[in-house]
């Protein structure tokens, strides 16, 4: 059974760093793209970027380029989304999702449960 | 970048009604257009991929059509469990979601 398990909720202060995780299981982890999505409170879905774990090929949405970093660890079947200096505007739910097709970017068929990030002084 | 415009932003319909949601791309996206359903407090769920292909396990009352710049998601007979927000999504160089359509029961 394909599963994406995300790390737990975080409460941070502005300026702090953070790394959240998404662990895949039940499939050949290195060969499926993983995407990350932001959903701010009461708002729609926004793509942050996508990463191919086998070679860490990464593509960022222009709005998020330079603001976050995606990474992947094949040995633990985990991808990460990290911030070096959080802002209050980073408060949101963050989802990871798996690409539907082997080695191709297309639809995203399996989703993590989401990680809630709260940034407040 | 391609922009995705969904309409309407919200709609209210009766159980059993046929419902349609449109998604317009600012440039040709071929048939690379997917539809997702999101219920409150839940992760999105893939309904339709590549414009018209029904994802496994999705009820047949959902259907998708279109190509190029104009796409439609249809629900043939609205059910209470279809109350959700629906998003279109495309890929060219970067992925992009539409703004969402909130579907409610009248």
What are the tens digits of pLDDT across the range A10-19? 999 999 999 9
- pLDDT for B94 beyond 90: no
By C-alpha distance, the chain B residue nearest A62 is B94
Tell me the shortest Cα–Cα distance from B92 to chain A, in angstroms.
10
The per-residue pLDDT for B85 is 98
The per-residue pLDDT for B93 is 60
How far is Cα B25 from Cα B91, in angstroms, rounded to an integer?
11
Q: Looking at residue B81, what DSSP letter applies?
A: G
Confidence of residue B30 (pLDDT cuts 50, 70, 90): confident
By C-alpha distance, the chain B residue nearest A41 is B41
Whether chain B has a CB inside 8 Å of the CB on A112: the answer is yes
* 8 Å CB contact between A4 and A112: yes
Whether chain B has a CB inside 8 Å of the CB on A105: the answer is yes
How far is Cα A101 from Cα A112, in angstroms, rounded to an integer?
17
Tell me the shortest Cα–Cα distance from B45 to chain A, in angstroms.
7
By C-alpha distance, the chain A residue nearest B33 is A107
Instruction: Identify the weakest region by mean pLDDT among A89-93, A112-116, B27-31.
Output: B27-31
Tell me the shortest Cα–Cα distance from B14 to chain A, in angstroms.
24
How far, CA to CA in Å, does B78 sit from each of A24, A48, A73, B54?
34, 32, 43, 17
Is A60 in Cβ contact with B43 (below 8 Å)?
no
For the segment B77-84, the average pLDDT, to the nearest whole number, is 98
């Amino acid at each position: 059974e394909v599963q994406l398990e995300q790390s737990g909720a975080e409460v941070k202060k502005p300026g702090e760093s953070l790394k959240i995780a998404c662990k895949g299981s039940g499939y050949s982890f290195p060969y499926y793209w993983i995407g990350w999505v932001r959903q701010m409170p009461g708002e729609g879905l926004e793509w942050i970027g996508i990463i191919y774990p086998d070679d860490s090929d990464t593509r960022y949405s222009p709005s998020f380029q330079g603001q976050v970093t995606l990474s992947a660890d094949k040995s633990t079947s985990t991808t990460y989304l990290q911030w070096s200096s959080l802002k209050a505007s980073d408060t949101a739910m963050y989802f990871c999702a798996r690409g539907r097709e082997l080695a191709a970017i297309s639809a995203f068929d399996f989703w993590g449960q989401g990680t809630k990030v709260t940034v407040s002084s | 970048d391609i922009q995705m415009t969904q309409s309407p932003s919200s709609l209210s319909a009766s159980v059993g009604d046929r419902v349609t949601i449109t998604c317009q791309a600012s440039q040709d996206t071929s048939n690379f257009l997917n539809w997702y359903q999101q219920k409150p407090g839940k992760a999105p769920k893939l309904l339709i991929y590549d414009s018209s292909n029904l994802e496994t396990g999705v009820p047949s009352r959902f259907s998708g059509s279109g190509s190029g710049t104009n796409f439609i998601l249809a629900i043939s007979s609205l059910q209470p469990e279809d109350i959700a927000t629906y998003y279109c999504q495309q890929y060219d160089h970067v992925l992009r979601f539409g703004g969402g359509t909130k579907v409610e029961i009248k």
